Structure 1
């Protein structure tokens, strides 16, 4: 397999900046979370990069601290901007 496809789900201000709730993104095989974020910046150059700078990420429901974490085909990447309140 030379590519993989992930599902990116956007929440709150990330959804507004991307202009959609979710999308499928193709990446090279062996791509990492950092690679996916770079591709999201390329796909949505207006507004979303600022949100991505402050966002946290979940892969298949698990928080990601290491942008070098590899992604598998079919993975779900959640983009979670900082939320107000508590």
Structure 2
């Protein structure tokens, strides 16, 4: 599934994979989310919630891994310039 992005030509495509409760709430295991170039995690989270309101609560407590690294600075760009980036949404889960 690809979410729509209106009014921009320079984009970052976030290949988002949802795990555990995040996948259940989103209703899809993965999707492509187009964002404006320079978009940060906050913009990605907003786009996801706009498309899947039920995922909002889970997303608030989930970690985002961008290219395999925890992304802890919401306004920092997911990547510089246009292109593609891999993002994993990992909710907290119990176990070892």
Q: TM-score of the superposition, structure 2-length normalised?
A: 0.82
1:25 equivalent to 2:33? Answer yes
In structure 1, runs of 5+ residues without a counterpart are none
Runs (4 or more) in structure 1 with deviation over 4 Å come to none
Any idea what the Cα deviations from partners look like across 1:51-74, whole Å, max 9, x if unmatched?
001101100000111112212321
Q: Following the alignment from structure 2 to structure 1, what is the Cα–Cα distance between the partners of residues 75 and 65?
A: 13
Secondary structure, counterpart of 2:35 in structure 1: strand
The structure 1 residue matched to 2:55, chosen from 48, 56, 79, is 48
User: How many corresponding residue pairs?
Assistant: 85
Secondary structure, counterpart of 1:34 in structure 2: helix
Secondary structure, counterpart of 1:78 in structure 2: strand
- Report the RMSD for the aligned CA atoms in angstroms: 1.1
Q: TM-score of the superposition, structure 1-length normalised?
A: 0.91
